[in-house]
Structure 1
Amino acid sequence: MKIASIVTIRKELRHLNKEELLELCLRLGRFKKENKALLTYLLFEAHDEDGYIESVKTTLDELFEGINTDSYFYMKKTIRKILRQIRTYSKYSNKKTTEVELLLYFCERLNELNPSIHRNRTLSNLYLRQIESLKKKIAVLHEDLQFDYNMQLNDLSKI
């Protein structure tokens, strides 16, 4: 089966009535957890971006509390899992500010971990890559937002 392009799909969707669109969306949500999560975001959380960011931060807090700090190996696995979650949540939002805020929060939480991530080269490098990524993402935002986020980023860099 050849997969159709987005343009073709959009044209075909325009020909469907409301009931058929509803059925397609529900069927799409049944197949993959990501599809259901995206539909949840679009239907319930897209109108309140600040509330969405706070709910994601709460989820991240729970994941950070569950980190096994007995071994750096287990810490690395969990931290990478958290980073994948952040990328997924950012992808749903499609707003650069949401991604920047979540990554800043991620870096803050990494600095608070005990034992320190800076004693492990892999985790320290992961942290530094996120800082560099944040610098690039902040550079494309509006000037006022750049100033605010750069202040937070400088606070993180001093640690």
Structure 2
Amino acid sequence: MKAATVAQLKKELKFKSQEETMQLCLRLARFKKENKELLTYLLFESDSEEGYIETVKEEVDVMFSDININSYFYIKKSVRKILRTIKKYIRYSGNKATEVELLLYFCEKLKSFRPSINRNTTLKNLYNRQLEYINKKIPLLHEDLQHDYGVILQQLNH
């Protein structure tokens, strides 16, 4: 079965009643964890972006504290998992400022992580790629945010 385009889905949803649309959403939420997480964000957390960011930061803190530091192999796997999780939450939000703030937080945590990421080329490259990505995203934000995030980025570059 070939999936319909978003435009086709939008047209078809116009013909559904409110009750039918709700049933479709609930059915969608049962099939994938990500669908349920997105629906949770849209219904409960999209009103307070600051609260959402704090919740994600707390989860990132827990994930960093759970990293097995016995070898760089486990550290790399865990760091990549944390970054995947952050990117997923960024997709839910769709807000550029949220994206930059969460990625800056990730980089801060990674830079202060012990054992140092400077002893591992892969981790250092991952860190540098995120800094470059953030640097490209900052000009798309409001001027005040550009300055604030630019200062943080400068601190992370040194």
Q: Could you state the TM-score of these two structures normalised by the residue count of structure 2?
A: 0.98
Q: Could you state the TM-score of these two structures normalised by the residue count of structure 1?
A: 0.97
Q: Which residue of 1 aligns with 2:62?
A: 62
Q: Which residue of 1 aligns with 2:101?
A: 101
Q: Which residue of 2 aligns with 1:148?
A: 148
Could you list the runs of 4 or more consecutive aligned residues of structure 1 that deviate by over 2 angstroms after TM superposition?
none
Q: Which residue of 2 aligns with 1:21?
A: 21
Residue 65 (structure 1) shift? 0.4
Residue 2 (structure 1) shift? 2.3
Matches within 5 A, 1:31-110: 31-110=31-110
2: CA distance between counterparts of 1:99 and 1:68? 27
Structure 2: segments with no counterpart, 5+ residues: none
Percent of pairs identical after alignment? 59
For residues 11-42 of structure 1, the C-alpha deviation after alignment (integer angstroms, 9 at most, x for no partner) is: 11111111111100000000000000000000
1:73 maps to a residue whose letter is: F
Structure 1: segments with no counterpart, 5+ residues: none
Tell me the number of residue pairs that the alignment of Structure 1 and Structure 2 aligns: 158
1: CA distance between counterparts of 2:139 and 2:77? 30
Q: Which residue of 1 aligns with 2:116?
A: 116
RMSD of Structure 2 on Structure 1 (CA): 0.7
Residue 140 (structure 1) shift? 1.5
For residues 67-125 of structure 1, the C-alpha deviation after alignment (integer angstroms, 9 at most, x for no partner) is: 01110010000000000001000000000100100000000000111110011111111
